[in-house]
Amino acid sequence: MISFWIVQINIPKYLEARLPTIKVLVVDDDHYMRKVVRTMLKALGVNHVHECSEGTAGLEAIRELNPDIVIVDWEMPVIDGLQFIRTVRSPGNFPVPDVPIILLTGHADRWRVIEAARYGVHEYLLKPVSTKALLDRIAAVLVKPRQMVQLEGYYGPLPRKLVLLGDDAPVPHGQDDVLLLK
């Protein structure tokens, strides 16, 4: 039997009243990971947590539930996290393209962070996830929502930094939180 501890987290006053009212959708093929995230969300005071075990059901759940935040795993069968994000970030084709998305993954590779930003993810969250890290990402999308923009084939949150590169230009070192357009 696997057990885990949830450390008591001080929730900022400006979030205390808001967290119980938000709807969060967790899309992950791993039952245990969904359970961990659900438990953490409940510990933070989130009362409305919905789960899906695969991407297709997650897309349908967004249409039906209109969640305030979606937490999606990168690696899932059939529709992976990037394909999921690409589908959601299709204004005109998907009814809720602006929903904040937090990508949950066990991969810390720099190229993955950059690729996730290029697909329109709001926040990047590494496994194993801590309750504090989860709260920080939720606070980022709720307290400081970024405007949604459409730029040269990109639709998603306004990048914190924008770097335009020529076709043969190398990716600048240290640019982990940027949108790179070629």
pLDDT tens for residues 111-168? 999 999 999 999 999 999 999 999 999 999 999 899 999 988 899 999 876 555 455 5
Instruction: Work out the number of other CB atoms within 10 angstroms of the CB of residue 89.
Output: 22
Averaged pLDDT for residues 54-69: 98
Three-class DSSP category at 57:
helix
Domains observed in the chain:
19-181 (3.40.50.2300)
Q: Check residue 170 and give its pLDDT.
A: 52
Helix count and strand count (H, E) for the chain: 6, 9
Is 46 in contact with 69 (CB distance < 8 Å)? no
d(CA 121, CA 177): 11
Confidence of residue 3 (pLDDT cuts 50, 70, 90): very low
* Coil, strand or helix at 1: coil
The average pLDDT across 94-104 equals 97
Q: Does residue 123 sit in helix, strand or coil?
A: strand
pLDDT of 175 reads: 44
Q: Considering only CA atoms, give the Rg of the chain.
A: 16
CA distance 80 to 85: 9
Torsions phi, psi for 143 (to 5 deg): -85, -40
Residue 40 tokens, joined: 């953490």
